[in-house]
Amino acid sequence: MADVGIVGYGSYIPRYRIKLESIAAVWGADAENYKRGLQLYEKSVPGHDQDTITMSVEAARRAIKRAGITGSQIGAAYVGSESHPYAVKPTGTVVAEALGATPECHTADFEFACKAGTEAMYVCYSQVKAGVIEYGLGVGADTSQGAPGDALEYSASAGAAAFIFGTKNILATVDHTYAYMTDTPDFWRREHQYYPQHGGRYTGDPAYFKHTLGAANGILEKSGMKPEDFDYAVFHQPNGKFPMEAAKRLGFPREKCMTGWLTPWLGNTYSGASPIGLTAILDVAKPGDRILMVSFGSGAGSDAFIYTVKEPILKVQGIAPKTRVQLDENKFYLDYGRYAKFRGKIIRNEG
Amino acid sequence: MKIRSPRYAREIPQRYRYEAAKTKSGKIFFPPRLVYPGGETATKHILAQTGKVLTWTIQSTGPAEYADMTPYAMAIVELDDGARITSMLVDVEHSTVKTGMRVRIEFRKIRSEGHEGLLCYGYKVVPE
């Protein structure tokens, strides 16, 4: 059977940022305490004209450019997010239409808290592997909300990553996949509620670590590989601390995780978190490098992937904006007032 | 709230994919027309997605649906294929906007039809 892998990838990070200090000052919280506890310094904020749809389109256009294909060649477009702009009306149709992939395209929106992005990737990969489609687009994107003053407000941020799966000119093969899931009530948002609820410390060991480590150990066992066999690892990163702790418990040295560890300056991009981390790795990876990726979504579950980077990557790394460049350059810092306005936290009269 | 879905849907090829028409003599029309000057025929042309600001203004009194964005910058942009579009210029400090500055098209939300209506998407320009 022919290899299946990532043939194009792209990320999109909005230019707006807010520092933890600006949020803490409004709520009378101790910024240093949050910075130490969450290992988080600032987060991205979407402009008021940006949402999951617009960021998905931008990331996908970059992925298409790197893949060297046209939108009409995409046979499936899946967007994973917990902040789809409509309650009823697909994100995927707008994205597919903007890419020129319609009408011969299968589209679905995925939801699974922070895991929806890798779900979209998982299904795209499977569709290509089954021979149903030639190229599939999987996107993870979010403009997540945390309740004002809640710990989540310090981390919930915005970004998108898009991946095109195919069988020709592969940038990184998918060597193994593994999914690990249980019914775990660690984080949720009911219909018509604006902000999510979470179980505080219960989101740690019984949720994040159980599933992230479960999926990581599962895929290592399935593949017969050890941490020493990998050049990079990227885990879901709800804050700066959890992914590094997961790496430590699995026996991955810190330096193998640094490239994809973006949360301290990006915040938690939810469905985009480990996928954007993967784009940062692909931006600098060399042929032969091996990558472990493990996502996590509350509710709860993890998807794990093992990739091997291939020769064609060297030709495409530089042809679309790199993730670290988007993260480190052209930043606009917002104060809390403008941030609240951008995020629609201020209710105004209509008309 | 007046439902404007049909008009929004009709403009999707231009607003999402920048579909224009180019005549045999090389003139670009955006949006495409049914009939071209001099009886020329035209074929589909996708606009270049980078260009430069020809002229601009800061809009301080905007329509109600742009209230959250006001004041905002509007620009006439000459794209690298020679076509000219009018677009909102975003992600920029207004004090740094100048004629000749390089910009590129990004996909953005143009407006929300209130809390219940459609979300309308399309192009805006940002500094390159």
Q: Given an 8 Å threshold on Cβ–Cβ distance, is B121 in contact with A54?
A: yes
Q: Which residues of B touch A54 (CB under 8 A)?
A: 106-109, 121
> What is the DSSP secondary-structure string of A134-153?
SEEEEEEEEE----TTSGGG
**Predicted pLDDT of residue B2:** 60
Same-domain pairing of A130 and A21: yes
Per the structure, the count of domains in chain B is 1
The CA distance from B35 to A28, in Å, is 65
List CB contacts of A188: < 8 A, sequence separation 6 or more.
A196, A197, A198, A298, A299
Shortest distance, CA A57 to any CA of chain B (angstroms) = 7
For the annotated catalytic residues of A, the residue numbers are: 82, 114, 236
Q: Given an 8 Å threshold on Cβ–Cβ distance, is A348 in contact with B106?
A: no
Q: Which residues of B touch A61 (CB under 8 A)?
A: 107
Quote the percentage of chain B above a pLDDT of 70. 98
Same-domain pairing of A214 and A109: no
Same-domain pairing of A264 and A329: no
Residue A351 belongs to a domain? no
Residue A289 belongs to a domain? yes
Q: Given an 8 Å threshold on Cβ–Cβ distance, is A47 in contact with B90?
A: yes
Structural domain range at position A244? 175-310
Structural domain range at position B20? 5-127
Same-domain pairing of A34 and A164: yes
**B89 alpha carbon, distance to own chain's centre:** 10
Per the structure, the count of domains in chain A is 2
**Predicted pLDDT of residue A106:** 97
Residue A40 belongs to a domain? yes
Residue A281 belongs to a domain? yes
The CA distance from A58 to A95, in Å, is 9
Residue A347 belongs to a domain? no
Same-domain pairing of A180 and A289: yes
Same-domain pairing of A9 and A152: yes
Same-domain pairing of A89 and A235: no
Which tokens sit at A112?
């699974």
Q: Which residues of B touch A86 (CB under 8 A)?
A: 119
Q: Which residues of A touch B115 (CB under 8 A)?
A: 350
B91 touches chain A (CB under 8 A): yes
H-assigned helices in A199-335: 210-223, 241-250, 263-266, 273-282, 313-316, 323-328
Pick from B81, B93, B15: nearest CA to B48:
B81
**B74 alpha carbon, distance to own chain's centre:** 10
Residue A270 belongs to a domain? yes
Same-domain pairing of A21 and A143: yes
The CA distance from A239 to A249, in Å, is 17
**A20 alpha carbon, distance to own chain's centre:** 21
For B65, counting Cβ atoms within 10 Å of its Cβ (0-12 exposed, 13-18 middle, 19+ buried), the class is middle
What is the residue-level pLDDT of chain A in tens, covering all 351 positions?
689 999 999 999 999 999 999 999 999 999 999 999 999 999 999 999 999 999 999 999 999 999 999 999 999 999 999 999 999 999 999 999 999 999 999 999 999 999 999 999 999 999 999 999 999 999 999 998 889 999 899 999 999 999 999 999 999 999 999 999 999 999 999 988 889 999 989 999 999 999 999 999 999 999 999 999 999 999 999 999 999 999 999 999 999 999 999 999 999 999 999 999 999 999 999 999 999 999 999 999 999 999 999 999 999 999 999 999 999 999 999 999 999 999 988 888 765
Pick from A299, A309, A305: nearest CA to A274:
A305
Band (pLDDT 50/70/90 cuts) for residue B68 is confident
Write the pLDDT tens digit of every residue in A149-166. 998 999 999 999 999 999
Same-domain pairing of A16 and A114: yes
Rounded to two decimals, the ipTM of the complex is 0.96
Between the alpha carbon of residue A265 and those of residues A36, A142, A150, A154, A204, the distances in Å are 14, 16, 19, 11, 21
Please report, for the domain that includes residue A254, its CATH number.
3.40.47.10
Same-domain pairing of A196 and A285: yes
Interface A-B, measured as beta-carbon pairs within 8 A, has a size of 51
The CA distance from A337 to A317, in Å, is 38
Band (pLDDT 50/70/90 cuts) for residue B3 is low
Residue B80 has pLDDT above 90, yes or no: yes
Please report, for the domain that includes residue B107, its CATH number.
2.40.50.840
Pick from A193, A203, A209, A217: nearest CA to A243:
A209
Same-domain pairing of A283 and A321: no
Residues 40-69 of B with CB under 8 A from A: 64, 67-69
Residue A350 belongs to a domain? no
Same-domain pairing of A19 and A154: yes
**Predicted pLDDT of residue B113:** 86
Which tokens sit at A313?
């990557």
